[in-house]
Structures are given as structure tokens and as C-alpha cells.
């Protein structure tokens, strides 16, 4: 069942079971903006988590994700394309999405972020990311892999910018759970 769900998301199109993928919670930012998106009391009944995000900052910022409120335990490797060249990088400053192409009304960044085996107490947590923004003449596409050096089961997720920027109105973060067999 989980193979079908993951394959349906990223792989060869096998029809996923509709009971394997559930919506847990959604946050949409109001007119005042918000500095932090928080998912707390995440149920432990799933195997993987997925965050699907549509977001915008007022100006350039990277995305940070804290698991269980812990900072400075994140390492990131990424591959990006900016329309003219492909590049690779790494980040150990706590960023999970290192993608800065400015800000513009109506043009929102999108990200699909997975956290695998989030309830395991035997392993560090691994995340993978696909996302980007296109402004019809600029922008970038992003593939990333992040490591969270914690063996604790994940019960909360906090998402912020790296520089105090607020998420703008209409930014939306939706958390989903994916079940194993």
C-alpha cells in the first residue's frame, strides 16, 4: 500500500490506495502575515509525512523547518536550475530550502516536502524536497535532500524563514500523512 502511494506520487503511476494518504491539517496565512507555521500533536499513526506548500515572503528568504522544536540539527544537499545553469550546494545552517528568487504578488513558491519514517526511534530523519518558483523570465527549480539528526519520533513541525521574514497572506501549508501496509 505504501509502495503504491509513494509510487503514485513520484514514480510510475501505480494507483495509490485512497486510505493510505490522509490530510492532517492545513494553515493558510491571513492578511497580517505570519512568521511561523506550526503543526503540533502530529498523530503517530502514519509512516511518512508530506507538506505541500504554496508560500511567499516579502523579499528573499530561505525556508527552515524544525522538527520537535530542535534547531541546528539540519544538513541539506540540493540541486537547482535557474534557467541558465544547473548547480549543486549544501547547507548546514538550518535551511531546508535554499531557494531565493525574490518576491512578487501573485507569484508564489511551491514546495512538496516529505519526511520519511517520522515515527522511527531507530534512525535519523530524512527529508526530500521538490519545488521552485517561475516568474516568466526568472526563477528556479529545486531538488533537495535534508537530514535531521534526531532519532526521536516527530510530533511537531515548525516552518519559518531564515531571516525573520513573514509568510505573506494566502501562503498555505498542508500536512498529509501516508500510511504503511
Partner 1 sequence: MAAGATYTPLETQTLGANAASVTFSSISQSYTDLVLVCNSGQVTADTSYNLRVGASNTIDTGTNYSDTALNGNGSTASSYRNTSANRILPAGSNSSSISDNLIFHIQNYSNTTTYKTVLSRANVPGFRVVATVSLWRNTAAINTVQIYGGSNLLAGSTFTLYGIAAA
Residues that bind partner 1 (CB under 8 A): 5, 8-13, 15-16, 18-26, 41-43, 45, 52, 54, 79-86, 106-110, 112, 130-137, 139-143, 170, 172, 174-177
Smallest separation (angstroms) from partner 1 to the CB of 14: 9
Smallest separation (angstroms) from partner 1 to the CB of 4: 10
Smallest separation (angstroms) from partner 1 to the CB of 133: 6
- Which of 173, 39, 54, 66 is CA-nearest to residue 125? 66
What the block records as the C-alpha cell of 175 is: 500536512
d(CA 150, CA 126): 10
Nearer to partner 1, 133 or 154 (CB): 133
Nearer to partner 1, 18 or 122 (CB): 18
Nearer to partner 1, 25 or 124 (CB): 25
CB atoms < 10 A from the CB of 52, how many?
A: 17
- Angle at 14 (CA atoms; ends 20, 121), nearest 5 degrees: 40
Q: Are 178 and 5 in contact (CB under 8 A)?
A: yes
Smallest separation (angstroms) from partner 1 to the CB of 149: 26
Instruction: Give the Å distances, CA to CA, from 11 to 2, 4, 6, 148, 177.
Output: 12, 9, 7, 24, 18
The pair phi, psi for residue 70, each rounded to 5°, is -90, 130
d(CA 104, CA 148): 31
Smallest separation (angstroms) from partner 1 to the CB of 11: 7
Nearer to partner 1, 81 or 94 (CB): 81
Nearer to partner 1, 22 or 73 (CB): 22
Amino acid at each position: 500500500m505504501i509502495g503504491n502511494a509513494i509510487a503514485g506520487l513520484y514514480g510510475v503511476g501505480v494507483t495509490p490506495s485512497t486510505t493510505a494518504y490522509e490530510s492532517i491539517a492545513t494553515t493558510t496565512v491571513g492578511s497580517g502575515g505570519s512568521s511561523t507555521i506550526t503543526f503540533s500533536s502530529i498523530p503517530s499513526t502514519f509512516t511518512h509525512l508530506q507538506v505541500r506548500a504554496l508560500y511567499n515572503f516579502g523579499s528573499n528568504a530561505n525556508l527552515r523547518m524544525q522538527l520537535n522544536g530542535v534547531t541546528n540539527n539540519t544538513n541539506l544537499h540540493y540541486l537547482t536550475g535557474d534557467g541558465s545553469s544547473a548547480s549543486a550546494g549544501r547547507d548546514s545552517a538550518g535551511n531546508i530550502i535554499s531557494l531565493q528568487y525574490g518576491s512578487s504578488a501573485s507569484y508564489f513558491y511551491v514546495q512538496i516536502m516529505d519526511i520519511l519514517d517520522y515515527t522511527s526511534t531507530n534512525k535519523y530523519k530524512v527529508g526530500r524536497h521538490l519545488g521552485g518558483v517561475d516568474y516568466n523570465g526568472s526563477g528556479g527549480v529545486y531538488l533537495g535532500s535534508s537530514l535531521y539528526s534526531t532519532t526521536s519520533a516527530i510530533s511537531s513541525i515548525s516552518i519559518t524563514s531564515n531571516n525573520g521574514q513573514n509568510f505573506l497572506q494566502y501562503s498555505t501549508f498542508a500536512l498529509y500523512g501516508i500510511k504503511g501496509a
